[in-house]
Amino acid sequence: MVTIKDKTFVPFISAEVIQARIQELAGQINEDYAHRQPLIVIVLNGAFIFAADLVKHLTIPCEITFIRVASYAATESSGQVKEILGLTDTIAGRDLILVEDIVDTGLTISEVCSQLQAQNPASLAVTTLLFKPDALKKPLDLSYVGFEIENRFVLGYGLDYDGWGRNTKDILVLES
């Protein structure tokens, strides 16, 4: 049991299980991109540890870049606007692999994907460490999923609770 700020978290996915699954995902990517040279687009902040471990197992030639997604409320009718920050690379004609920490409602990643698609990449695949299918609000094509999990709040291995708790090797879940 671990207390982060005012909440209690319990073990959920161990470091060993995470590492084994990441090796499998990297192996799949190495096969699928055997004759391509993708641009890996890492979505900060939450994906930083997952992405670092994943790319260590990639044997294909690849470039790596980082983006952030800023959300702000526009009007009540349009809801949250997502803006991609930090993308300085030319992505037209490139094979993109987007690396995310977690897909919850899917609204963030689907907005990011449609903004990237507008710049005409050759292809766009999404890798996420965690996916909550029960929370999904928009159909999404996720090419590489580490773990499908239930709709509970998780933390650790890069994911935070209010800025805290990113620095654990295991993934923890909010005690129910």
Whether 53 is catalytic is: no
Nearer to ligand 5GP, 53 or 101 (CB): 101
Of residues 106 and 146, the one with the C-beta less far from ligand 5GP: 106
* Contact indicator for 115, 89 with CB cutoff of 8 Å: no
**4 makes contact with ligand 5GP (CB under 6 A):** no
Q: Which of 53, 95, 101, 104 is catalytic?
A: 104
Q: Which of 15, 23, 60, 153 binds ligand 5GP (CB under 6 A)?
A: 153
- From the list 172, 132, 165, 174, the residue with the least C-alpha distance to 18 is 172
Beta bridge partners of 84: 69
Is the Cα torsion angle 115, 116, 121, 127 positive or negative in sign?
Answer: negative
The one among 22, 41, 103, 116 contacting ligand 5GP by CB under 6 A? 103
* Residue 108 binding ligand 5GP, by CB under 6 A: yes
**Judged by CB under 6 A, which stretch of 4-12, 30-38, 54-62, 97-105 contacts ligand 5GP?**
97-105
| Pair 88, 125: CB distance under 8 Å | no
| 124, two tokens | 């766009």
Inter-residue contact 120 to 93 (CB < 8 Å): yes
List residues with catalytic annotation: 104
Which residues of the shown chain bind ligand 5GP in the complex (CB under 6 A)? 46, 101-109, 153-155, 159-161
